[in-house]
Structures are given as structure tokens and as C-alpha cells.
Structure 1
Amino acid sequence: MKRIALLDILRGFAIIGTLGTNIWIFAYLGDLNLVFGNALEPWWSSGDRLLQTIMLILVNGKFLGMLTLLFGAGMELKRQKAVREGYTWPGVYIWSCALLLLDGLLHYILVMEYDVLMSYAITGMIVSLIIHRSRRFILVMMWLAGSIHVIGVTGITALLAFESGAALNGMDTITQLYAAGTWWEQVMFRLNHFGFFRAESIAIIPLNVFLFLLGAMFMRTGVFSNDESGRLKRRKLMIAGLGIGIPLNLLLLIPGGIMDLWVRYISAPVLTLGYLGIIAYGMEKGIFDRLFQRFGEIGKMALSCYILQNIIASILFYGWGLRFGGRPSSLYILLIWAGICLLLMIFSHLWLRFYPLGPVEWLWRKLSISPVSKVTSRDTSI
């Protein structure tokens, strides 16, 4: 099957964009109070805080939403392939999800406590049992998952509003560990606090289910198609996503971080649709064509680049590495983010000149042939 260039480019933007959020967590040594909802330093208190807030308005949750949506689109492509080739769905796709769960677990233990791959793996298993059903059934499941998510996040936001200035406990312990602890001590800390750090991955499953199914429906209805119908649909998404998403995401400016959770998990996915339309429009018009090609190369090696960018950030900021973490300026953090992005572009460009797949993707291809499907040897990579 011929690759869809737009999907690779969108995936590349999504990988870089998720780092745009995670880089602050690395830089502040895991102290979420310094990243989200810091009531002691409102956004107007300094130019440094304003720059951080602007960056979070632009990236926080938006590209994670895009990555989630693209997972759903990729699943639909594999379902269509299963139909064409006449094998059972979900079949070996469950095996792929199991591999993703293992990959995410290793990434969580060895690299970063806020890994999203485990959540995607569980979501993939759930959605794979829905995606082959009727359009009506899919829409009902989307409505159900979306309603559960919105009600839950809105309820938590309302509770936070009654505790203005509330902060997460235990952040000092985490920052001390990442400032001075060894890599192995950090590994053991993640293992010992598995439930605490994995709570978000479980909580966002309803949102993931909704976005997976939305991505699948977009693929099914031709949103990603390279024709006039696809372009028209993407323009409508761009207008609606920006028109509704921008005002909703400006709620991040409300003092005290009261709306931070609501913005990240409800407002952000709306703006994601606007970003999808803008990126697609830029590709169609050939704007920054070479730059878009580099993003497409990152997208082809998305899993490798996602893991690599977190390893690089760990080395740069943590105590066992170069010790850049703590309270660096926002400009300094953004420069490091830009530097990592450039490294990923160079790495993916050079790698793909010699190999058709990224290193993790190559290993994934080898392992994704499940014990029960080796006879057919079909590609089941995610």
C-alpha cells in the first residue's frame, strides 16, 4: 500500500509537538506545579512566564490529540487491508497492541514516567473491537466515550475551582530525585510509584477511544484523501477548529491554573482539528516544502523519534546527565527544544537515505509477525 504523505507529515508535527509539552516537564525535573497551574506565578508576572504560557497555549495537548487521532487513522488503514486480503479482524492486530504495551512499559520504566504508548495499546485493543462495526455503532461509541470524558474532566475542573491555588503534593521529592539521583534510582522510583504515574494513562482512555474512532472515521470518509473532496473537508476542519479552538484554549489564561486540565483535555483536541487543516493546507501549497519533507521523514520514523527525543531530553536535563534541569529560563528551554527538533530532522533524513524503516520500526516489523500468523507473514505494524 502506498504511504499517504499527509499522514507522515502530520505524524512528524505531532511528534515534535508532544516534545513541545514534555520539554517543560524534563526542564523542571518533573515538577508539574511549575508547568501547569502555578498559582504563585501568573502568566503576566514576567516575560519568562508569558513566553512559557504562549508556548503551552500553542502545543499543550494539541499535538498529543493529533497523534492519537492518527493512531485511529492508521488502525482503519489496517482494517481495510484486512478486508482486502480476506483475513480476520482484529486478528493479529491484538498482537501488535500487546507489543505496543510492552514497548510503552519499557519506555515508562527506562525513560519517562508520562509515556503515552501504554494507553494507546489498551485503547487500540478496545477500538479494534468497535471499528469493524456499523457506522451507527461507531458513532454511538464515540458519543458515549466523549460524554464520559467531558463529564469527568468538567467535574474535576469544578472541584479545582473550589480549591484555588491547590498544588500537587510530592513534587519536591520528584525534583530532588531527578536533580541528584542516579538513572537506576529513577527507574526504581517509577516502578515503586507505578499506580500514581499511570493514573493519567487510564483516565484518558475515553478521550483516546473518541479520537481513535474519529481518526478512523476521517480516514473512512476521505478527509486525508489527495483530492478536491478531501481538501474541502480539511478546510472546513481548519475553519471550525481554529474558530472554536482558539477561544477555548485562551481559557489557559485564567489565573490559578483552574482551567488548565479542561484546556489540555477538552479545548486542545478541538484546536487539533484546526492544526490538521493548517498543516494540510501548507503541504498542498508547497509552503516550506523542504521543511515539510523533514517532518514527513520524522513521521515515517515516529516511534523511533518519540523514544529518541525523550532519551535526549533525559540526558540533557537530569542529574545523571548534563544537569541542565531546574529552573532554566523559558527561552533557554525553547532553544533546547528547537535543537532537539533539528537533531531529529537530521537523524531521520540520514537514516532513511540508507534504510527504509526507522530502527524501532524495523524491530517492530520483525516482532509483529505473531506466533499464529507466521504462515501469512503479513505486515501488522501500527
Structure 2
Amino acid sequence: MGRVSSLDVLRGVAILGTFGTNVWIFSSPDGLAAVLGGGGTVESGLRALSNGKFLALLSILFGVGLAIQHASAVRRGARWPGWYLWRSALLWVEGALHFVLVFEFDVLMFYATVAVLCAFVVGRSTRVIRGWMIGAGLLNVAVVGLLTAALYGQDLVGGDSPDTSRWTDQVAFRLEHALTLRFEAVFVLPLGTVLFLAGAQLLRAGALERSVRGDAIRRRLMVWGLGLGVPLNALTAFAGTDWALVDRYLCAPIVAFGLLGAVTALVHRMAEAPGPLRQGITAVGRSALSCYIAQNVLASVLCYQWGLGITGGPLWTITCFAVVSAVVTTGAWLWLRRFPRGPVETVWDVLHRAPQRWLSSRRTRCLPGRSA
């Protein structure tokens, strides 16, 4: 399977879009209490633009990447999941470090966990994959529904926020409240399973290809994802915090499929001579892990008290998002002009290949006629 031309653009859009959700936590004077949203009509509308959609899109794209790596292993006759499990372990460690040192709402740990499960399913028959998707989807709906009913009408707040005057206090807070801060796993793991496997199936169906079949699939994704998902998402976004879980974990993922179709269609339509904006977004997609971490580090420096300590209302949030996104996009473009992959990806690649090279060298030394 050749390189999918739209995949880097989609990843770049998803990475920058996730920051559109996270930036409220950094920029708001309420800190973690900003997780549940609220605020006036303008603020609710701004939050609704990104909340949950791009995280869901990123999950779908992880599934696309999983399917690509599975197909590559099959072509090479390699064992599966094999070294993919080592990749997932590295991703989990990277996410754990990001969670402790940088940001309370890291998603990499969740993605690594879902990746291990889906790695054992992605190579099965379509019937088996659909069964897993249906089962995980029903579990997600049940969890969201039950918790929404149990919490309905309660005056929810975001909980205690860490003292941001010292970075070490934030680290201590994350470690002390790790179970509470990782509670989102009850939503992300079943939903992530659905989205990972959906991404794999969409790739195999040709949804990202520039073809008549691909065009038809993308049109259906946009009709359902944007035509149905956006109105539902708007209703739940403005319905108050009672519907926050439905908004983020049921409606937003529907919109994510529409975004996948729309962005891919736009990339294929504008395939010739990509402009500076597309080049920048593509660079972010090619160095997605580096940019995901970098944007959270930059926002921490700008907004936390141990940094510049700038917080404020929606206007500052928009400014913070624009500034950090511009810096990350420009930095990724400049970096990739000199290097083949992002800085985190480079370290990750070395760690991923190191045990394989060690085993290969051991086998070579142990061949007949060689000294063991």
C-alpha cells in the first residue's frame, strides 16, 4: 500500500483541533473546572467547534495507521502483532510521561491501550470486526447513558485545580489524583475501540483513495457526519452541562466521520501545488507526536503561573490557540526541511528499532561457524 496523500493533512488537522479543546483548560482562570464547559452563548459556541470531534478524528486515524501497519506485516510475512506491541508500549510510556510532566488530559496512554486490543482484532474477518465494533459501541452508549442519567440535574464542577505557581506542585497533583484524572478511560476505551476499527475498515474500503468508490464513501460520511451529526452536536452543546457526556462521547464522534470525509475530499480537490497552509498542516501531521506535546508545553508556559501566567476569557483563548498553533505549524515545517521526522518521532524510532537490531545481531553471532 502506497503512502496515503491525505493522511498527513488529516493528522495535522486532528492534532491542531485537539488543542482547540485543550486550550480552554490552559487559558481559563478556572483551570480544570473548565473541562465541563459552561459559560455564555459565545463561549459555548466556541467550545462546541472542537470539543471531542478532533480527538475522535485522531482515534479514527490511529485505526488507519494500525491497518496500514498490519497490511505491511502481512506483505512481509512478519508475525502480527509482533513488534507493534512494542510500539504500543513505547506510546504508553510516552503518554505516561506526558501526563505526569505536562498535561492532565493526555490521550496517548488511552490510545496505546486501545491499540493493543485492536491489534488482535484488526486481522480478523469483517464479521468479527463488526461484532467488536457493535459490542464496544453498545458499551459506550450504556456508560454514557447511565452516567448522564445518574448525574442529571446536579451542579457539576470541574473539581480542585492544581496550584500552578510551581511546576513541581502540578506534577505532585497529577500523581496524587492519577486515578481520578484517568477516569475518562471508561469512555475512551470502548469509544476508541469503535473508532480504531472503523478507521481500519474505512481504509480498506477505499475511503481515503482518489477514486469513484472513495468519492462515494466520502459523500456518505459527510451526509451522516455533518448533515446529522452537526445538528445533534449543536443541540447537546447548548443544552448545558447535563448533556456534556452525550455531547463529547456520542455526538462529536459522528461529526468526526464527516470531518474525515470533508477534509479528504478537499485534499483531493486541491491536490496540485499545495499552498503554505497545507504545507504547514502536513508538516504537523508528519510530526504529530512532537506537535501534540509541543503545543501543550507552549500553552503551559504561556498560561500557568510558573510561566507567564496569562489567563482570561474567550478572546485570550482564541489568541492563545492562534499563537501556539502558528508557532507549532511553522516550527514543524522548518524542522522537516532539515530532518526526515519530528524530534520525538526520531527518538521513538531509535527506541523502536533498538531491540530489533539487538536481536538481529544476536542471531548473526549465533549462526553456525560464528562465535556465540
Alignment TM-score, normalising by the size of structure 1 = 0.89
Aligned AA (1:290)? P
Using the TM superposition, give the Cα deviation of residue 361 of structure 1 relative to its aligned residue in structure 2, in angstroms: 0.7
Which residue number corresponds to residue 189 of structure 1? 173
Distance change >3 Å, CA 373–CA 69, structure 1 → 2: farther
Using the TM superposition, give the Cα deviation of residue 307 of structure 1 relative to its aligned residue in structure 2, in angstroms: 0.3
Aligned equivalents of 1:29 and 1:367: distance in 2?
Answer: 39
C-alpha contact (below 8 Å) 1:66/1:269 kept by paired residues: yes
1:1-382 matches, cutoff 5 A:
2-28=2-28, 31-38=31-38, 41=39, 49-161=40-152, 163-168=153-158, 170-171=159-160, 174=161, 177-178=163-164, 180=165, 182-286=166-270, 289-325=275-311, 328-369=312-353, 371=355, 374=358
Q: Identify the range of structure 1 (72-81 vs 228-237) with the bigger mean alpha-carbon deviation.
A: 228-237
Using the TM superposition, give the Cα deviation of residue 13 of structure 1 relative to its aligned residue in structure 2, in angstroms: 0.3
Aligned equivalents of 1:3 and 1:267: distance in 2?
Answer: 31
C-alpha contact (below 8 Å) 1:12/1:296 kept by paired residues: yes
C-alpha contact (below 8 Å) 2:237/2:247 kept by paired residues: no
Percent identity at matched positions?
A: 39
Give SS of 1:204's match.
helix
Using the TM superposition, give the Cα deviation of residue 254 of structure 1 relative to its aligned residue in structure 2, in angstroms: 4.2
Aligned equivalents of 2:221 and 2:37: distance in 1?
Answer: 30
Using the TM superposition, give the Cα deviation of residue 83 of structure 1 relative to its aligned residue in structure 2, in angstroms: 0.4
Using the TM superposition, give the Cα deviation of residue 32 of structure 1 relative to its aligned residue in structure 2, in angstroms: 4.1
C-alpha contact (below 8 Å) 2:87/2:352 kept by paired residues: yes
C-alpha contact (below 8 Å) 2:133/2:193 kept by paired residues: yes
Using the TM superposition, give the Cα deviation of residue 255 of structure 1 relative to its aligned residue in structure 2, in angstroms: 4.2
C-alpha contact (below 8 Å) 1:119/1:202 kept by paired residues: no
Using the TM superposition, give the Cα deviation of residue 6 of structure 1 relative to its aligned residue in structure 2, in angstroms: 0.5
C-alpha contact (below 8 Å) 2:45/2:237 kept by paired residues: no
Using the TM superposition, give the Cα deviation of residue 290 of structure 1 relative to its aligned residue in structure 2, in angstroms: 3.2
Deviations 1:325-374 (A, max 9, x none): 3xx12012101101111111110111111011000111111111262565
Aligned equivalents of 1:202 and 1:372: distance in 2?
Answer: 34
Aligned length: 359
CA RMSD of aligned residues (A): 1.8
Using the TM superposition, give the Cα deviation of residue 33 of structure 1 relative to its aligned residue in structure 2, in angstroms: 3.5
Which residue number corresponds to residue 46 of structure 1? none
C-alpha contact (below 8 Å) 1:92/1:373 kept by paired residues: no
Distance change >3 Å, CA 30–CA 118, structure 1 → 2: farther
Deviations 1:235-278 (A, max 9, x none): 21111111110111012344441111111000000001111122
Using the TM superposition, give the Cα deviation of residue 5 of structure 1 relative to its aligned residue in structure 2, in angstroms: 2.1
C-alpha contact (below 8 Å) 1:164/1:256 kept by paired residues: no
Using the TM superposition, give the Cα deviation of residue 282 of structure 1 relative to its aligned residue in structure 2, in angstroms: 1.9
Give SS of 1:299's match.
helix
Q: Identify the range of structure 1 (260-269 vs 286-295) with the bigger mean alpha-carbon deviation.
A: 286-295
Structure 1 gaps, min length 5? 42-48, 378-382
C-alpha contact (below 8 Å) 1:9/1:296 kept by paired residues: yes
Aligned equivalents of 1:141 and 1:34: distance in 2?
Answer: 34
